[in-house]
Amino acid sequence: MLQARLKLHLIFIISHFLLAKPNPHTPALYVFGDSLLDNGNNNWLPSAARADYAPYGLNFPSPVLGRFTNGKTPADFLADYLGLPYPPPYASLFGPNNIGLPNPMPNTPLFKPDSFAGYNYASAACGILPLTGINTGKCYSFDEQIEMFRQTKESQLSTVYGDPTKLSQQLSNSIFLISVGSSDYIDNYFVPLSPSSKFHDAPKFAQLLIDRLSLQLKRLYSLGARKLLVTEVPPIGCSPTGVKPTKALMHKGECDEEANNIVSMFNKHLPFLLTNLTSTLQGSHVVLAHIYSTTYDVITNPSKYGLRDSTNPCCRTWFNGGLQCIPEQTPCSNPNEHFFWDGYHPTEAAFSIMATEFLYGSSACSPISLQQLVEL
């Protein structure tokens, strides 16, 4: 009975979330990050970090592949709330001819349908540092994603809006969603024989990420971003794969707290960084989404949120706990009861819980809620 009530409560919350009235002062949503938000940018790249095959996207409302889950990502839920179309993947402008943006650019402005309302630049396996993800193939680092946004502004939006003041107002009222850092650990620091872990201990590596992230957020600000939502690194040590697959197999269902403590060193720097940026960058509003504590609570107390399984992936993953689903395999029949879709990425149901917490929760974001950021 308790679980049934929790499920009904969850359905009510999600329904309220999806039916909320769009804010007329939010013209666009721009998305930056890694596989938690990638919706297809890696589809055209020579990379192992791709989700352009079944069973990914099984429950997405249209036959569009590229998201590392069965349905919607947090960016999609945010777009729903804002009343905006889902931002298309920026790399789709160039298709198979683009193997390494940002060099190949069209001579004239080119837009996907509804792309006046934003783009998604997120790229699976990439992160804050330029070397992150090279073990999986090509991906777009956060620096490259920012460069893509610069090209969007100068080659497309400037032409459309004409008046620089109008463009500045459009960008200052837009939401910039940024989720980076996870891959810098999974596809860099924790990779065996990684130069990053060889030359940096955990505290120094965290500081390296923070220093570079500070410069990157300042660059986004210089390009017109004013409302930024930045997420923490989630507790990657709690994923079915884990950051050390052999350890995950030995202690299935238990979080690797050593790994979680390492990423927490990065997360502890974020409030100070973002507070400093808000106080020094005039007119900026930078909100921190506490994805670590929110995700950890859902994983360790799944029944509290109406879930049954927070240990096993819903789809069949590669041998030894690989991160991704095996192509064309039939997944579990109850993804809405699972937290994990594959060896690392959450299901749509888990993403909806987190999105709801970020929007309405009293402590999921700071210094203000996501809803308050939208309404500024």
What secondary structure, in 3-state letters, does the chain show? CHHHHHHHHHHHHHHHHHHCCCCCCCCCEEEEECCCCCECHHHHCCECCCCCCCCCCCCCCCCCCCECCCCCCHHHHHHHHHCCCCCCEHHHHCHHHCCCCCCCCCCCCCCCCCHHHCCECCCCCCCCCCCCCCCCECCCCHHHHHHHHHHHHHHHHHHHHCCHHHHHHHHHCCEEEEECCHHHHHHHHCCCCCHHHHHCCHHHHHHHHHHHHHHHHHHHHHCCCCEEEEECCCCHHHCCCCCCHHHHHHCCCCCCHHHHHHHHHHHHHHHHHHHHHHHHCCCCEEEEECHHHHHHHHHHCHHHHCCCECCCCCCCECCCCCCCECCCCCCCCCHHHECECCCCCECHHHHHHHHHHHHHCCCCEECCCHHHHHHC
Q: Give me the count of residues in the chain.
A: 376
Which of 35, 47, 123, 179 is catalytic? The answer is 35
Closest CA to 227 of 271, 281, 172: 172
Q: Are 145 and 179 in contact (CB under 8 A)?
A: no
- In the set 38, 342, 352, 369, the catalytic residue is 342
Burial of 315 (0-12, 13-18, 19+ CB in 10 A): buried
- 345 part of the active site: yes
Asked about 35 being catalytic, the answer comes back as yes
3-state secondary structure 7-36: HHHHHHHHHHHHHCCCCCCCCCEEEEECCC
Out of 269, 290, 338, 345, pick the active-site residue: 345
Tell me, yes or no, if 342 is annotated catalytic: yes
CA atoms within 13 A on the CB side of 230: 30
Which residues neighbour 279 within 8 Å (Cβ) at sequence distance 6 or greater?
none
- By annotation, the residues acting in catalysis are 35, 342, 345
